[in-house]
Structure 1
């Protein structure tokens, strides 16, 4: 009989699983606050309605679950055959009836949670591959899902803000985003700071950097390309106000 509790025993992983499930519950709450007609409205993402956001989050759960199944069985099961297939899937999902769209989110979230629950300790280190081609341990799937549900709950444009996202999630998001910039070299001449913390990222070798700073939720909102409210900028790149953040993903 399948376990009714997580087989994972690592305390850190257990905490990450809790954060992912809390994010899923938060997304579900914001989704359930929307009427069926409001699903047709625009999201905070360009060219995407709320329907697209829900479809993306639902199909993402299925894709992440495939990676967990890969770790459990050793049989390669990619997230998607290609990015084109993923994009087509989202476009199709956005055309589903409201009840089907809601069921997609609910059922896929439960499926993923069960796959995590039944994965034993020995398999969490098994290597799988993301849609971007990165080889990661199965434990990374928890963070992959965590950032999806928390960020896209905000993208629904239903009152959620980055201030609703737990600080540990925000900090890891900021490290992820600035790390991606650094890997691509797109953070040249740019520094990001959260006053009152040790969170400082960017081009530490720049003599006169552009500095973007503000409270953690506002900085992550800016860094993820979702707004400039609450942040300030100084330096050569700030002549016209807060500059746009470099591309993240």
Structure 2
């Protein structure tokens, strides 16, 4: 059984792995392209630092970001910093967020908070949301930490999370049945039974499914009846 406090502890471990990787980056590597189109590795690290600040804002009842332009501008401003500046910013902001998590109580975790674009969720969701950011963007750095290195417990939860995210999504008109090699069956996209020819059945291991659902792969390692559906950008 998970809890936000337990997620915060798992997040600490993931953050330390990321910091260890960031400490090995030189200026040339930082300025090189990440696996996210249009972003260098410096952009990825800058985003992670500013995201930590944004989640502190959310917990304090403030807007997550001043606005989309301010969010993007802050990332551009910070992307070209030195490795030392990136590392210090990442560590300091992570510690600040961890301290904010530690101040939460069983009752306060259950309050509703507002994220970007009017999205709301329980405060209890934030440690896992941050864990997603850390793990997937660590992969996006392209410095030797791949999808296959993601912790199994994280992969299982992110698979369920992504299936839920695309369930009923207007950008996914197909009914999709995800058949996990461990025997689980998850439904996403349009409601089961809503597609005349039946659901698109996609089979594979949890990591391959997560890679596709999060846009980190085009579906390598998966088998499907016909073409894989196009998924909305995250």
TM-score (norm 2): 0.88
Count of matched residue positions in the alignment of Structure 1 and Structure 2: 229
The Cα offsets for residues 174-230 of structure 1, whole Å up to 9 and x where unpaired, read as 222222222323151433221223142235324343332211111101111111464
Pairing partner for 1:53 from 8, 29, 44: 44
Q: Structure 1 residue aligned with 2:205, among 193, 196, 215?
A: 215
Does structure 1 residue 41 correspond to structure 2 residue 27?
A: no
| Counterpart Cα distance in 1 of 2:178 and 2:231 | 12
Asked whether the equivalents of residues 26 and 150 of structure 1 are also in contact (C-alpha less than 8 Å), the reply is: no
- 2:119 maps to 134
Alpha-carbon separation, structure 2, partners of 1:217 and 1:235? 19
Q: Distance in 2 between matches of 1:58 and 1:29?
A: 15
Residue equivalent to 2:92: 107
Q: Does 1:25 align with 2:16?
A: yes
C-alpha distance in 1, partners of 2:57/2:130? Answer: 13
Query: Per the alignment, in what secondary structure is the counterpart of residue 197 of structure 1?
Result: coil
Partner Cα separation in structure 2 for residue 198 and residue 165 of structure 1: 19
CA apart distance, 1:163: 2.0
Counterparts in 2 of 1:235 and 1:55: CA distance versus 1, 3 Å: same
**Shift of the alpha carbon at 1:35?**
2.2
Contact 1:212 1:231 in 2 (8 A): no
Distance 1:157 1:151, change over 3 A: same
Name 2:6's counterpart in structure 1.
15
Q: Give, in whole Å, the separation in 2 of the partners of 1:105 and 1:244.
A: 36
Aligned to 1:156: 141
- Equivalents in 2 of 1:30, 1:132: separation in Å? 31
| C-alpha displacement of 1:234 | 2.7
RMSD: 2.1
Given the two structures, how large is their TM-score scaled by the length of structure 1? 0.83
Runs of at least 5 residues in structure 2 that lack an aligned partner in the other structure: none
Give how far 1:140 is off. Answer: 1.5
Q: In the alignment, does 2:79 pair up with 1:94?
A: yes
Separation of aligned partners in 2, 1:187 and 1:24:
36
| Cα pair distance change 1:126/1:210, threshold 3 Å | closer
